[in-house]
A and B are shown apart, each in its own frame.
Chain A
Amino acid sequence: MNAEVRLMKNMLEANDQVAANNRDFFASQDMLVLNLIGSPGAGKTTLLLATLDQIDDYNVAVLQGDIETNIDAQRVAQTGTPVLQLNTHGACHLDARLVQQGFQEMSITPDILFIENIGNLVCPAQFDLGETAKVVVVSVTEGDDKPYKYPATFHCAGAVIITKLDLLEHTDFSIDRFLDGFRAVNKVAPCFPVSARTGQGLRPWLAWLKEQCSKVKTEAV
């Protein structure tokens, strides 16, 4: 006998349940948790280092995702910020369980936790880690067509950073064309053009960061 069984189940439920637990825990600790997503070499770690340099009045920790090596964790460790490297050994994204385990291993509760995801503009967007917001990092050398080509990732961004602005004049990147594509899939998230190398444009990004931090704390009461 054949029968139809109605399920209406989230295919990613195993990950999403752990992510929901992470999110509840982070909220209970008034933590701002940002999931940094961008292509390989977009400039995620460099942006992170430039940011850490400017927010020494906050307790910050970093979970550093890479397929292999602890190169990026070492770069972060040089700033004195607590950091733990997460290696996925091939997987194209971090998942909620890796973050849960990594965070437990660090056994600290910072004001801000940065999670640098695997260099990839597609898969990380699909896996909720329990973060407060996703921050998508894109560089001017990648071209201004990225929101058109990777709409899913830009759709779920809580903020977007266009980095390597110091190289703008050497490229044909148009910030207007980028924004047109970005606004087509995301009407609300702010966009910050910066150079992590020169520090240009960092101030609005840092202001947003601090604003999010106080938001998390007031929402908790």
Chain B
Amino acid sequence: MHEAALALSLLSIVLKEAETVGANRVLSITVQAGEYAAINEYALTFAWEIAAKGTAAAGAQLLLQAYPGSRDLIIESMEVQK
């Protein structure tokens, strides 16, 4: 339900990290989504596509991995183009 807020938070973290490592494009992002994180993959992907538009992360694929028993949302890694 608050996936838009999450997408924006994800975007700001990803763009900052991309700049730090000198990447010019983000290709994909892997997120560990806890079972109790109450995240809807469809809604998050949809919000992400809109949030990332016009940035270095535009079009980056979101890969969600389910983690049982946790409520955490961890950005595990990203694939970038330098």
Interface of A with B (CB < 8 Å)?
1-15, 91-93, 120, 122-123, 125-127, 151-153, 155-156, 185
> Does B52 sit within 8 A of A, measured CB to CB?
no
CA–CA, A156 and B38, complex, Å:
12
Which residues of B are at the interface with A, using a C-beta cutoff of 8 A? 1-2, 5-6, 9-10, 12-13, 17-18, 21, 23, 27, 31, 35-38, 71-82
Interface of A (DSSP majority class): mixed
- Could you say which of A2, A11, A123, A125 contacts B73, with CB atoms under 8 Å apart? A11
How many A-B pairs have beta carbons closer than 8 Å: the answer is: 92
- Distance between B16 CB and nearest chain A CB, rounded to angstroms: 10
Partner of A7, one of B36, B71, B75, B82: B75
Q: What are 12 A-B residue pairs whose CB atoms fall within 8 Å in the complex?
A: A2-B80, A3-B81, A5-B23, A8-B76, A9-B13, A9-B75, A10-B72, A10-B75, A11-B13, A12-B9, A123-B38, A156-B36
Contact A126 B37 (CB under 8 A): yes
- Structural contact, B2 and A92, CB atoms closer than 8 A: yes
CB distance from B7 to the nearest CB of A (A): 10
Q: Give Cα distance in the complex from A45 to B9, angstroms.
A: 31
Cβ-defined contact, A7 with B78, below 8 A: yes
Interface of B (DSSP majority class): mixed
User: Chain B residues near A153 (CB, 8 Å)?
Assistant: 38
Minimal beta-carbon separation of B69 from chain A (angstroms): 9
Q: Is the CB of A6 within 8 A of B77?
A: yes
Q: Do A4 and B71 contact each other (CB < 8 Å), given the known contacts A12-B9, A123-B2?
A: no
Instruction: Contact check, B1 vs A3: say whether CB atoms are below 8 A apart.
Output: no
Known: A3-B23, A5-B77. A11 touches B10 (CB 8 A): yes
